Structure 1
């Protein structure tokens, strides 16, 4: 969640309103006890703004309830009107709500609210590819090398490294990278490799697809990425309309 600070909601009044709406609409919530390995489906039963608590439904599994009560930190994911909502929680304890077992947790101090466009990956053009200019270390000759993008989102990009010069070390950070967004402008950001996939093309040549997360991106650059994604969606919708 710390990587999505630009989408963070920290107003107690707004957090309370969002959680109440989730409860009123009976939206199911994924409670991650230990990452994806231990997931419980829950819902919000009540939001007590004055007491600073939120009441959650408990699991049907007594063993899982014990793990939840013993967890130091919990993560929650849900949607509200097609908006993805994520928040964390701790200090969870057992209680009763309307005569049934439940959980009581402190209201989160912040949550993440992501519009669809903000986490949706959009494929970039193939014929006239967008390029990321990534500085190269001195041992590789220095300067910057251009890499074509495969897709883009407000969280990061996927690039194609057909020369296999960047390596595939997960977590490696490249600073001061420039991405030239057509009709929008050039942005500068850090890029951290988050995943790597080696590909064999039809001509038997090798290529490597690197999923990269934006690091220390200025808000102005994020706004530029949002505008570019909107532009790509408009162009795609126009093509689809032209084919109908």
Structure 2
């Protein structure tokens, strides 16, 4: 991806875009809590300044950005059509565009104000970064076998590329390389996703009570474009929620 807003692939990175207002606000607020340094590019990437997200004004529908130390650069940024803001938040690359920049002030100094961006792009360093699943609202996977039995297993972790399942009873007959079709992934608050699963690894898993089961690593296949988008949105929301409740953000 280029600093002037171009995309590196033929289809861009649309599947990593958050367009829901509440999701956008959540990401910007997360950035403001540190705050993370943000590089803002303008004039088609020929100029830039280092800033930070200072806050979100929900009533005005605006984001507040720190002004840079160079007044001349700040004036040119204010005159630009838009700023392309790029930063990192832990393992995630974050990018968004703001337009309609204007100067403002806060109790702690001068700021830029701009309407909330229409979208925010969040992309993992690795597309298939695994996210641990909550126990209270589990993701459930149903795997049908040739004899008509349907096995229901809980997900330990999830990514765009596959799922890690807990097989406590160790009753599902399988080996590495097996493929299961017509499986279902039930994600809280979303439609059930139809997936094909290929067994990639099988390992021993010890539960907290000392009992022994299996952890199954399975790769996805046959996920629709809409399914991938729903999966990406769920993972992003879950990561934001987990960071909000982690000790580092209290």
TM-score (norm 1): 0.49
